[in-house]
Amino acid sequence: MTSVDENEMYMVRQAQSLRKSDPSSAKAWILTAKTLYPNAFNVQYEAYLLERDAKNSEMAAQYFSIIATNFTNQHAELWQEVNALTSALRNETENTPEQEFYVKMYKHLTPEVQHSIFVHTISNCGDNLQQCIHSYILMFNKFPKTAVTQAPRLLEMLAEGMKADPDVYQRMLVEEVLPLIQNKPPELNPVLACRLYTNSLEYYLRQIMDDEKCDTTEAWKNIFKVLMLCGQMMGWEPFLPFSKQVNQNVYWDKLVKILRSSPAGSSQVLFYATTLFIYSLHGYIRKLRIEDAEVSHVLVEGFIDWTPEGGEVQSMDWTPEGAEVQSMEPPKFSATTAISQELSEAFLHAARCWQLLNTEQFQRDFSQLMLALPLAPWISRFLFDLAIYFGHRDEANKLMADMTTQSTLVQSLQILSLNLMQGSMTLQGFQCILKILAELPATSGQLLENISLKSHRHMIFLPLTKIALIQYCTRAITSRLSRMLFEPNCSDRLLGDLLALLQLNPDKDILLKQHIFNLITQRKSFSLHILSNYIIATDIIEELAYIWNTQQQDDVNFELTGSPTGSSSASGGANTPAAAAAAQPRRIGTRGADKGARDEFKSLIRQQIARCNEHVPTLVANFITQEHLTLVQHIFGMAPPVETIVIK
């Protein structure tokens, strides 16, 4: 070290020793040193420190400008101050008093010095990717015009960072960087632009899926903004901005227009269609669960009613629901609840996009996109529903095995629907009915319209409410039992059981009930042993009373069974042999009926009519569960072992 260097450092050390205790003397030493050594870094830096410690932001800015512009990058002390300055600028709203000083000092720097600080900081970040990105963001905030030329490099760095820590760098991209470049987006490599859009989409989808408080409308508005921004970077034809009020057909029509003017496999169509698919898919999955109530919906097979318009039911003209001959056309959707229309539209829009994206020109790239996005729970449910919509039963069974998050109630309902799709309910389907009735939800709900339609296959969105589930299960059983009305020698018990089931919706199946009553009146003998326990519908009771009163002939016996006085309902039982004998139900027949029998009959009818206000859905559900062995015997010809259909 030369004597000049020694003298310089001596004066600097004197100033340093006095800086805290005697600032005035320290400043005198530095003024002398500046006169002798005006180009020495240590002297200028010590002068800066004196002003910094004195909280003199204007003078500190003058010295900082000198050392920041005139000295090489090898001075560690300088970069400590630069880092402190940029850190304070990043957190202007939550600064400490020390950081507030740096913010004030920055305002006294000339724009040229301010810009050079960011440029030198970026150049000297080394491997510190986050610091470099933050410096770029600061520079774009303070000097927006620099984003036009510098944004591509920043976006490349963000893409690189996402490989190591996607959560951090996706947030920085979406919340800090994209808002800075949206007004003047730079030209960007198409691969990088698509990659950044995919990462932005993933960021917002995670918010939508994981955060219950997420404003989904705002999230989709931002997704469409990013889509438009990336489209600008690549020179794509603009898509439509997001609006919740815009019908999805408008988006689809715009997509088709772009598709017609684009080359095969166009990235533009791929990303527009993928975004529209996910938007429709989200709407579908969200609507499956009504937002203002704890009620979910499940897509299930509807019933086909081949009952002719007017006239009697004839075996040659009437086919029960689940007919084997079905149209090859896609099924319709029935309006069962207020939200059915919205659900069906969202599903069909998603299905339309899915079919486009799975054509040969897009399938490979679309599959890679799906693997990169956190959509597995939505996709598995959608693909299952899509399979049953198109009647692909084997595929639906395979997809069901892949869905692991479903409740047993939903799974039982879907298996039952698959059974009905094949045209004939199996024992597995009946077991599902028993499981469903054993897990009925607390929400009551109401009877649904349009679960049966004439002439064509259709789908329904079944709400998971108590009454709707009972209605669906009951309809599945009556559909199967109704076939047997046209078989020779169908049993009295079958006719009675059908009457018990048909009570659920008294305004429906009028022709079917008339046909049952016609069969009853044509018989020389008929016994109805379930009347007192399960039949309380006034229309059925009145018709039975009419038949009983008109069948007073010696060669005809119409026999009803009533509970004895003081006995319990079907769920009760005697505790002793004597009590059991006394509690045997009384059979009341028309053959040889005397006044006592007629009085008993009237008493039985009054007893049943008095119960007409009981909750019919609960009664029918109890009938199915308590009489399940008999129903199985009707449907399958023999009763299986009890343990195979036990309700758990």
CA 510 to chain centre: 39
For the stretch 401-450, pLDDT in tens is 877 666 899 999 999 999 998 877 889 999 999 999 999 999 999 999 88
626 token code pair: 């308590």
Strand bridging mode 458-463 / 297-301: antiparallel
Asked if the model's pLDDT at residue 454 lies above 90, the reply is no
Least confident piece of the model among 173-187, 262-276, 546-560, 604-618: 546-560
- In this predicted structure, what is the pLDDT of residue 322? 41
Residue 407 lies in a domain: no
pLDDT digits (tens, 9 = 90+) for 72-120: 666 778 888 888 888 888 887 777 888 899 999 999 999 999 998 888 8
Given a contact cutoff of 8 angstroms between Cβ atoms, the answer to whether 303 and 321 are in contact is yes
At 595 the pLDDT is: 62
Pairing of strands 557-562, 458-463: unpaired
Q: Which of 305-309, 608-612, 639-643 has the lowest mean pLDDT?
A: 639-643
Per the structure, how many domains does the chain have? 1
Q: Which residues does 643 contact at the CB level (< 8 Å), separation at least 6?
A: none
Q: What pairs with residue 458 in β-bridges?
A: 332
Q: Is residue 519 in a domain?
A: yes
Is 28 inside a domain boundary?
A: no
Per-residue pLDDT band for 250 (boundaries 50, 70, 90) equals: very high
- Asked whether residue 130 is domain-assigned, the answer is no
Q: What is the pLDDT of residues 607-631, one digit of tens each?
A: 888 888 899 999 999 999 999 999 9
- 288 part of a folded domain: no
Which one has a higher pLDDT value, 456 or 589?
456
Give the range of the structural domain holding residue 532, as residue numbers without chain letter: 485-648
Q: Label residue 490 by pLDDT band (50, 70, 90).
A: confident
For residue 622, what pLDDT is reported?
96
In the block, tokens 């692909």 appear at: 392
> What is the per-residue pLDDT for 275?
96
Domain annotation covers residue 98: no
Q: Are 370 and 305 contacting, i.e. CB atoms less than 8 angstroms apart?
A: no
Distance CA 463, CA 339 (A): 10
- Cα separation of 69 and 104, whole Å? 19
Give, rounded to a whole angstrom, the gap between the first and last alpha carbons of the chain: 92
Q: Is residue 335 part of a domain?
A: no
CA distance 115 to 130: 19
Within its chain, how far is the Cα of 42 from the centroid?
A: 64
Assess contact for 546 and 576: CB atoms under 8 A: no
How high is the pLDDT of residue 222? Answer: 94
Report yes or no on 496 lying in a domain. yes
Q: Assign 602 a pLDDT band (cuts: 50, 70, 90).
A: confident
The half-sphere exposure of 375 on its side-chain side, counting CA atoms within 13 A, is 25
The C-alpha angle with vertex 377 and arms to 373 and 380, in degrees rounded to 5, equals 105
Mean pLDDT of the chain: 83
Which H/E stretch holds residue 66? helix 57-70
Share of the chain above pLDDT 90, in %: 42
Asked if pLDDT for residue 358 goes beyond 80, the answer is yes
> In this model, does residue 293 exceed pLDDT 80?
no
| Structure tokens, 295 | 């009620």
Of the pLDDT bands very low, low, confident and very high (cuts 50, 70, 90), residue 1 is: very low
pLDDT in tens, 519-574: 988 888 888 888 888 999 999 999 988 887 786 655 667 777 655 443 334 444 43
Please determine, for residue 39, whether its predicted confidence score (pLDDT) is greater than 90: no
Q: Any idea which of 113-117, 168-172, 197-201, 587-591 has the lowest mean pLDDT?
A: 587-591
Q: Which residue has the higher pLDDT, 527 or 587?
A: 527
Of 17, 53, 14, nearest in space to 30 by CA: 14
